[in-house]
Structure 1
Amino acid sequence: MKKLLVALLMVVMVFSVFAVKITIWTSEAQAPILTKLADEFKSIYGIDVEVVQVNFNDIKSKFLTAAPAGEGADIIVGAHDWVGELAANGLLEPIPVLPEKDQYLPTPLQAFTYNGKLYGIPYAFDGPALIYNKDYVEEPPKTFDELIELAKQIQEEYEGEVRGLVYDFKNFYFSSYAIFGFGGYVFGEKDGKINVKDVGLANEGAIKGMKLLKRLVDEGLLESGDNYNVMDNLFKDGQAAMIINGPWAVPGWKEAGIDFGVAPIPDLENGVKPKPFFGAQGFMVNAKSPNKLYAIEFLTKFIATKDVMYRIYLADPRVPSRKDILPMVDDVTRAFAEFLGNYGLPMPNVPEMAGVWGAMGDDALSKVLDQGVPVEQALKEAVDTILAGIK
C-alpha cells in the first residue's frame, strides 16, 4: 500500500508539472529571443512558457489591473523604476536566491532592490556617457575644464558651423551627472530603505552642480533651444563634436556614418566623478501567481545563466548586467558598461519619483539656465514642490 501511494504521488507530481504554463509579458524587442528560449526550456524541462508581446508602455498598467486577481502574466519584462509601486502593492515576489550573483554589476542589482530585497533579475541597463566625433576630437577630455576649452576651440575653428558640445541639458535625466557628482541626491536612504521626505536637491552639492551647468551656458556652449532632437540631428549631420547621450542612439550614428567614440563624462573637478542616472531592464515575478515558484525556477536556473543572458544581449544589444559577458561585447557597449557600472546611479524606483522630473526639469533647470533665476532659489522652490506633491 505504501509503495502504491508513493507511485500515485509521483504520477500526480508529473501531471501537475505538465499542467503548468508560465506566461511572460514582454515588448517587441525581447519577444523573438524569449520565444526561442521558451521552446528550449520546454524541450528540457517539459514546462510550457508562453511569450506574449505587449506594448512596453502598457505592460505595467495591464499588470496592475490583472495581478491583484492572480491573473495576467507570471513574469513581466520591464523597467526597474516600476519596482517600488508594484512591490508596495504586494504584486512582486522577491527573488530569494540569485545564482552567481557576484557575476552581476552591482548597480543594476541595486536598481531592482527595494527595501533591501531583490525584486527582479536585471539583464541590461543603459544611460548617458560622453560621445565624441573623432573627426573633431582625437582624445576625449578628462575634466570639465578641458571639455570647455576644447569645445570653445572647435567652435572658433569652425566659425560656429560645428557645435563643441550640445545635449538635452534642461532634462534632469541628462544633467543629473553634475547634481549628483557634487553630492546632491533625490531621496535619502538609510538601511537600504528610501526616505522620500529627505530630498537633497537643494543642498550644497546640488547647488555646485547646477552652477557648473550654468557655466556651460555662460561660456556659450549650450543654447536655449537645445533639446534631444537638436542634439541627435546635429551629431548625425556631423555638426556637433561632443554630446551626452546613451547607447539606444548608437544605430542612428552608425547609419549616419559617424566615426564616434564613447568615453566617461569628464571629471567635474580633479577627482570629482560625475554620477549620471541610468535605467535597468529585467524580469519580475507576479507575487499573486499560482505559478510563481515555477517562474522563479525558470528565471534563476535558466534565464539568469551566462549563456542565455549572452544570447539575449545578441538579440537585444543593450549593455549587459553580467560582468562575465562584457569581454564578449563590442568596444562601444563595453565603454558604456564600464562608466555606468562604476559611476551610474539608478533612477529611484519609488512612485514619488514622478513628481521630481517636472520640478527639476521644467522648473529648476529651465529657471536657472534660461531665465536667470538664482540657483539657490530655483532649487529650493523645486524641493518645496516635490515635498508638497509627496504630502
Structure 2
Amino acid sequence: MKVTKRGLWAVGALTVTASLVLTGCTAASDTTDSAAGNGGSLTVWVDADRASVLKDAAADFTAETGVEVKLVQKEFGDIRDQFVAQVPTGKGPDIVIGAHDWLGTFVTNGVVAPVELGDKADDFQAVGVTAMSYEGQVYGVPYSIENIALVRNTALAPSTPATFDEMVTMGEAAGTEYPFLVGLDPEAADPYHLYPFQTSFGAPVFGTDADGSYDAEALEIGNAGGDEFAAWLAEQGAAGVLNTNITGDLAKEKFVAGEAPFYLTGPWNVPAAVEAGIDVAIDPIPSAGGEDAQPFVGVQGFFVSAKSENALAANEFIVNYMGSEEVQTALFEVGGRAPALTASFEAASADPIVAGFGTVGENAVPMPSIPAMGAVWEFWGVTEAAIINGGDPTSLWQKMSGDIQTAIAG
C-alpha cells in the first residue's frame, strides 16, 4: 500500500535509517526503545487487528521521512490503563490507538497532546472530529465511526416503522416468536442499546456547553423526560417487549433463526444474519417518546503522547498517513468499522449496510468521554434492569439520578 503524503513537512534532522519493527513485547520491555529515548523514531501501540495496515503505512512514512517507526502490539482492552501509567514515566509510546471515550481520562491525566488537523479537519465526518475533541480542543485523528441501528428482516417486515409502537405492531403481525429483539442483561440491562429510546424522551445524560462539549454539571438524565422514559421502560417490561433474560447472544441467535423481524444492534452482528440468508435492511431507530432517537456513536482513532520528543513527526504520521484515504479504507476493510474520513466512507457506502448504519450515525451523539461518565455507568444499567423487571420506575430513576449527582460531586 502506497500512502500519498498530504501537506508539506520539514523533516530537518530526523534522518535516521528507515526500518520497521513489529513486536509483541510485554509492557515492561517494549517501551525502552521509545521515541523519547532516541529522538529519531516513533513508537506506536496498536492492536493486532490493525497492525498489518499500520505496518504498510509506517514503511511508507519511514521511506519518505527517514523516521523509524516501531509498532508494538497490545491487547486493545489493556491500552488505556497502560498508556496512562507509562506516559508520565517517559517510557510510553509516542502514538497510541484508542477509543474516543478514553479521552477524558487521557486529558485529565495529562498524557495526550493536542493534534493539529488544520484544513484536513473538514475532510472527516463532523461527529468524528467532535468525538476526538475535549473542551473545544482536538486531541486525536479519528479513523472509524460505529453506532447501532434497527436491523430489519425484509421478508418479515417489508417496510420501515415510523415509531416504536408501529414497530411492535408490525412485529406482532409477523407472527414470529418475538416482535422485536435487543440484547439485555438480567442485572445491568444495556444503557448503550437503550439510550436512543431515552433520548427520544428528551433525556440525554448531560447537557452541553456552547462549544458542544458535555457539561458534567448539567446532569439531565433525571429530568421530566427521564421520568417518562423510566415509566416507558416499566411498560415495555410488563408487556414482555423488553426482557432482561434475552441476552446479547440469545438476541442474535433468535434473529439469525428468523424469530423476529426487528433487531436493535450494531454492524458487528449483521454478517451472521446475512450468512444465514436473511435479507436485511438498516433502518433509523424508531422514536418511543416523540423526539429523535439518537444512539451513541463510538469513534476510534490515534492519539499523540504528551511526552513524545518527536511530536512533529507523530502529528504528521497520524494526520497525513493514518488520516489518508488509503489507510482509512484499509482499516475499514480489515475491521469493518465505517471510516471517519468522508472520502473513504463514501466509497464504503456502496455497501447498503454500511450506508444504512452511516445514515443513522449522522444523527448519533458521541458517547461522553468526560470522567463524570464513570459515575453514570455505575448506577444506570442496574436501575434500568430493576425497572424493566417490575420495580417502581419513578422512585428508582430519581434515586439513580441522585446517586449519580452525589458520585460526581464527591
Query: How far apart in 1 are the matches of 2:171 and 2:308?
Result: 55
Q: What amino acid maps onto 1:42 in structure 2?
A: T
* Distance apart, 1:14 and its partner CA: 5.4
* Aligned residue number for residue 373 of structure 2: 353
* Aligned residue number for residue 13 of structure 1: 13
Q: What amino acid maps onto 1:167 in structure 2?
A: V
* Aligned residue number for residue 322 of structure 2: 303
Q: What amino acid maps onto 1:185 in structure 2?
A: P
Q: What amino acid maps onto 1:207 in structure 2?
A: D
* Aligned residue number for residue 182 of structure 1: 201
CA spacing shift, 1:34–1:189, aligned 2, 3 Å: same
Contact residue 148 and residue 193 of structure 2 kept, 8 A: yes
CA spacing shift, 1:366–1:135, aligned 2, 3 Å: same
* Aligned residue number for residue 334 of structure 1: 355
For the pair 1:378 / 2:396, whether they are aligned, the reply is yes
* Distance apart, 1:388 and its partner CA: 2.1
Q: What SS does structure 2 have at the residue aligned with 1:13?
A: coil
* Aligned residue number for residue 32 of structure 2: none
Q: What SS does structure 2 have at the residue aligned with 1:303?
A: coil
Q: Normalization by structure 2: what TM-score? A: 0.85
1:216-231 to 2 correspondence within 5 Å? Answer: 216-231=236-251
Q: Could you give the per-residue CA deviations for residues 105-147 of structure 1, whole angstroms, max 9, x where no partner exists?
A: 2212111111110111111121210011222111121222311
Q: What SS does structure 1 have at the residue aligned with 2:180?
A: strand
Q: What SS does structure 1 have at the residue aligned with 2:246?
A: coil
* Aligned residue number for residue 231 of structure 2: 211
Contact residue 379 and residue 400 of structure 2 kept, 8 A: yes
Q: What SS does structure 2 have at the residue aligned with 1:29?
A: helix
Aligned length: 373
Query: How far apart in 1 are the matches of 2:12 and 2:228?
Result: 66
For the pair 1:105 / 2:125, whether they are aligned, the reply is yes
Query: How far apart in 1 are the matches of 2:289 and 2:107?
Result: 39
RMSD: 2.2
1:58-77 to 2 correspondence within 5 Å? Answer: 58-77=78-97
1:64-143 to 2 correspondence within 5 Å? Answer: 64-143=84-163
* Aligned residue number for residue 3 of structure 1: none
Query: How far apart in 2 are the matches of 1:107 and 1:360?
Result: 24
Q: What SS does structure 2 have at the residue aligned with 1:285?
A: strand
Contact residue 17 and residue 68 of structure 2 kept, 8 A: no
* Distance apart, 1:12 and its partner CA: 7.9
* Distance apart, 1:255 and its partner CA: 3.3
Q: What amino acid maps onto 1:381 in structure 2?
A: K
For the pair 1:259 / 2:271, whether they are aligned, the reply is no
Name the % identity: 28
Contact residue 22 and residue 291 of structure 1 kept, 8 A: yes
* Aligned residue number for residue 322 of structure 1: 341
CA spacing shift, 1:294–1:17, aligned 2, 3 Å: farther
Contact residue 157 and residue 171 of structure 2 kept, 8 A: no
Query: How far apart in 1 are the matches of 2:229 and 2:116?
Result: 39
Q: What SS does structure 1 have at the residue aligned with 2:262?
A: strand
Q: What SS does structure 1 have at the residue aligned with 2:49?
A: coil
Query: How far apart in 1 are the matches of 2:223 and 2:12?
Result: 62
* Distance apart, 1:389 and its partner CA: 1.8
Contact residue 151 and residue 221 of structure 1 kept, 8 A: no
Q: 1:283 aligns with which of 302, 306, 328?
A: 302
Q: What amino acid maps onto 1:175 in structure 2?
A: L
Q: 1:34 aligns with which of 42, 49, 54?
A: 54
Q: What amino acid maps onto 1:180 in structure 2?
A: T
Query: How far apart in 2 are the matches of 1:11 and 1:370?
Result: 62
Query: How far apart in 2 are the matches of 1:17 and 1:381?
Result: 61
Q: Normalization by structure 1: what TM-score? A: 0.89
* Aligned residue number for residue 164 of structure 2: 144
Q: What SS does structure 1 have at the residue aligned with 2:294?
A: coil
Query: How far apart in 1 are the matches of 2:327 and 2:119?
Result: 14
Name whichever structure is richer in helix by fraction: 1
Query: How far apart in 2 are the matches of 1:260 and 1:72?
Result: 44
* Aligned residue number for residue 387 of structure 1: 405
Q: 2:178 aligns with which of 155, 163, 182?
A: 163
* Distance apart, 1:58 and its partner CA: 0.7
For structure 1, which runs of at least 5 residues remain unmatched after alignment? 1-9
Contact residue 202 and residue 376 of structure 1 kept, 8 A: no
Q: What SS does structure 1 have at the residue aligned with 2:343?
A: helix
Contact residue 178 and residue 213 of structure 1 kept, 8 A: no
Contact residue 182 and residue 246 of structure 2 kept, 8 A: yes
For structure 2, which runs of at least 5 residues remain unmatched after alignment? 1-9, 19-38
Query: How far apart in 2 are the matches of 1:214 and 1:102?
Result: 43
Q: What SS does structure 1 have at the residue aligned with 2:82?
A: helix
Query: How far apart in 2 are the matches of 1:357 and 1:316?
Result: 27
Contact residue 262 and residue 332 of structure 1 kept, 8 A: yes
* Distance apart, 1:17 and its partner CA: 8.7
* Aligned residue number for residue 268 of structure 1: 288
Query: How far apart in 2 are the matches of 1:146 and 1:230?
Result: 24
Q: What amino acid maps onto 2:374 in structure 1?
A: A
* Distance apart, 1:84 and its partner CA: 0.5
